[in-house]
Amino acid sequence: MDKLSTTFAGLQLSSPIIVSSSGLTSKSHNLLRYEQAGAGALVLKSLFEEQIDSDIEHLYGGADSPEAMDYLMAYVRDNALENHLTLLREAKQVLSIPVIASINCFKKDSWISFAKEIEAAGADAIELNYMSIDTSFSSPYGAMETECIEMVDALCKQTKLPVIVKLPKYFSNIVRLVHDLKKVGAAGVVLFNRSYAMDIEVESMRVKSGNIFTRPEDIEDPLRYTALVHGAIPDMDVALSSGAHDTQGVLKGLLAGASAVQMCSSIYRDGEGLITHVLGELIRWMDRHKYYNIKEFMGHLSAKDDELSAMYLRTQFMKYYSNHKPN
């Protein structure tokens, strides 16, 4: 599989496909199937800080006892961490591909001290799954970016492992943010995190969850920003996430400048055999175009010059509508 090998965040991958953090990677007995199908790495299901805080609040029930609250916080967090560490140890026993631990954080004063224990348990890297939506009138512009950078800086000081940052797309300047994350030690970024999808049921007039799976057209924003980041910061590793459902999606990500592509929704739908199918088609595409390894075409269509950059920076529909004739 040398033809498909790549490097992401300092990790040597036998293929560019990474199985992303999800229910797919929550049970150790499932993980070997992804390696056998050809995955280059996988990200374990995240430790969710928000869920842990919710569990603590539910158990606490508003009782007026600081001692009880302290006990519950320690118990719930330690239990969640131990479950993650157990999954990590079991994964390392059966897999030869890199295993990436995942922490889902939304507060600056987070439990990044867990990084030492994750490192001791054998993780090959840590993915910081950063997700926050700020609606406070008192927050200054740029507060979320500052918080993210400070969190990554603190995490990098806690561990020698490569730190990968999975970002949401709710930032005003993704390229600048990635540049600053690299300065504080981030080894790679994943574009983009998928937030909890919301919908509204109009007849019952209630808020409900939306579609949990991505669609192929969701690749558009990750493609744009992968190309822009790779063009501006070519020595920063990027993994594309959200919308890569097939060989076309993987190829688009690689051509835009991604070193690897995270897949999830399509594996839920089609099973791990999809990974084998995509890699087989990827090899056939490379043979047709006479490429002997991924690095020969990776980033070929990134925003590396003015002409390509202009294409990715285009935000208006002028070209489309000027050529579109009404019926």
**pLDDT at residue 115, as a whole number:** 86
Residue with the larger pLDDT of the pair 74 and 255: 255
Q: Are 302 and 257 in contact (CB under 8 A)?
A: yes
The yes-or-no verdict on residue 47 having pLDDT over 80 is no
DSSP 25-38: GS-HHHHHHHHHHT
Mean pLDDT computed over 281-307: 95
Least confident segment among 52-56, 93-97, 109-113: 52-56
Handedness of CA 200, 201, 203, 205 (dihedral sign): negative
- The alpha carbon torsion through 84, 90, 93, 94 (nearest 10 deg) reads -110
Residues ≥6 apart with Cβ < 8 Å to 12 = 5, 98
The yes-or-no verdict on residue 110 having pLDDT over 60 is no
Residues ≥6 apart with Cβ < 8 Å to 58 = none
Q: How far is CA 234 from the centre of its chain?
A: 19
Q: How far is CA 207 from CA 51, 162, 201, 215, in A?
A: 19, 39, 6, 22
Per residue in 127-151, pLDDT (tens digit) is 998 877 777 888 898 888 998 999 9
The mean of the pLDDT values for the chain is 85
Per residue in 58-97, pLDDT (tens digit) is 444 454 444 443 433 444 465 667 888 999 999 999 999 9
